[in-house]
Structure 1
Amino acid sequence: MTIMQRGANVELTREIPSLAHVVLGIDWNSGGETIIDQNLVFAAILCDDTGRARSGDDFVFFNQLADPNLSVHQLESVMGPDREQIDVDLHAVPDSVSRIVTVLYLNEGTARRRSLGQLRRCVLRVVNGADNVELVRSEDLAGTFNAETAATLGEVYRYRGGWKFKVIGQGHTTGIRGVAAEYGIPL
């Protein structure tokens, strides 16, 4: 297992040429904050070369469990220590998609006056979908958050005919609305 710092990246398909799909898993610990647990949303955004979603269909979350091509979808049954997981079929991702960004955000409503800064642990993992072996994981990102209500955690992206993974760990104080504006997702 390799622990990656924010900004670090790794060439997934150069290391494992036969890699066909990956599972992106998130684990967090909110201490006793059950409202945070109940309102955290793990999502994926399929982006084109400009870094923006092509349409609202490119936002995979609890209300839209897969993209139209079924190349990216949330898993109903989580494997391993993760709270939630998103499966990416690398061969099925449309050519017009150059990156798949993962985000974590607090759903609005009862989670108001809460922030990701209250998390005690937040780790993103990349698992080989074929054998459930962990390839890499992010450093614990919880300590980097303060008043943020959303965060871009990491991304899987095309690179020289293959796929790489990068840890981002960038918080957003404007919640899902700010993330949607940044990536062109209509809400």
Structure 2
Amino acid sequence: MNSAVADLDAFDQAERVVLIGHSLAGILIPEIAARRPDRVAHLVFLSCFVPAEGQTVADEMTPLLRVVSRGMTLFHARPVPKAIAKRMFCNDMTPEQTALTLSGLVPEAPGLLHDPVTRLGLPPATVIPRTFIKTLRDRVISPETQDRFISNVGNCEVRSLNAGHDAMISSSLLLAKCIEESVGRRRD
């Protein structure tokens, strides 16, 4: 968290930024915005875990994801096994996109999964607008679970994208257009 805030502080102080979080970053971008509200113009949640206040990501996982995450933690922070990752992340990808995705697997920090989250310091959506991009073919966070997380985000624009979990790889142009339409419209 501190390194992300330091990165934000390193940007030109005259510029406000759009924070786009994917998956586990749903617990990070609200905290960054709470720490630097004057620097953040918009929050975009792309198929993000957004647990209820005081809950953990692990509390919100499906039983299968809990088993996978527990195994990764027990075996000293290993990445998701490639066979499981391919099923979870690559269901809408070309062979080239799948190879790229699987080559970049890294361990997740266990604290992200098991530390309670808070959004108490986050300014209201009238100060920092929010968009949630719901991925309709997601095998990591089902569309129904994303609906619950959208509710936890609160007052936000919801956009749907016919893509899997890693839409930034499988549907990058559609995703970019979706973000531009949402964020760009608010800046005009």
More strand per residue: 1 or 2?
Answer: 1
Larger radius of gyration: 2
Above 0.5 in TM-score? no
Please state which band the TM-score falls in when normalised by the shorter chain. Answer: under 0.3
- Scaled by the length of structure 2, what TM-score is found? 0.27
